Homo-oligomer: A and B are copies of this chain.
């Protein structure tokens, strides 16, 4: 097991605290305590609190969108043209849910952070999505469009956004209230993933 740098430990503990207590419950003193470092280390490494939170978002979102792009690339390089819609949706949804199921690497915590950032209308997150990742989102929207040529372009656009809404809802475990206790985490997320893909696929039927 590798030893984590102070910077990494701070990012991890921030992620953990936000996912547990939300943005309201954050304090740099708690963060530094859990990261087993000094209070001033946070400002030393990240400048200020706002920047720290932004770095938490950036670190993971880059991974998430990288993975999505990779899967879409593979699909578009394949023989099917247009791509199989269900696979396109899987390429978008699965990485997010895989991440949120990856407790070991803190992915689950991050997904909750992400959902909270959405709710808080983080300007930084907004910029990230509308600039850095806009192309990826557009690529997915186009791939969906091509496989459903008879659907109005505007309608596809709306539904893709609704699907993203459901995804965020699930990721953040919003519906946890309704979750059965008999399922393990990985079982739950497998079912969830399948159900969500089917749901999305169905919603895009012509």
Contact = CB atoms under 8 A, between A and B. Distances in A.
Interface residues of A, number: 43
Interface stretch (A39-47, A54-62, A194-202): A194-202
B165 A174 contact: yes
A159 interface: yes
Interface in A156-206: 157-159, 161-170, 172-178, 192, 195-196, 198-200, 202-205
A203 to B, nearest CB: 4
Contact of A162 (B22, B158, B196): B196
Nearest to A206: B202
A29 interface: no
For the complex, would chain A's binding face be called helix, strand, loop or mixed by DSSP majority?
Answer: helix
10 contacts: A24-B24, A115-B119, A119-B172, A158-B195, A161-B175, A163-B166, A164-B175, A165-B175, A166-B166, A203-B203
A115 B169 CA distance: 10
A158 B169 CA distance: 12
A173 B204 CA distance: 22
A172 B118 CA distance: 9
A127 to B, nearest CB: 9
Contact of A120 (B22, B130, B176, B203): B22
A162 B168 contact: no
Given A130-B177, A203-B199, A22 B121 contact: yes
Nearest to A19: B121
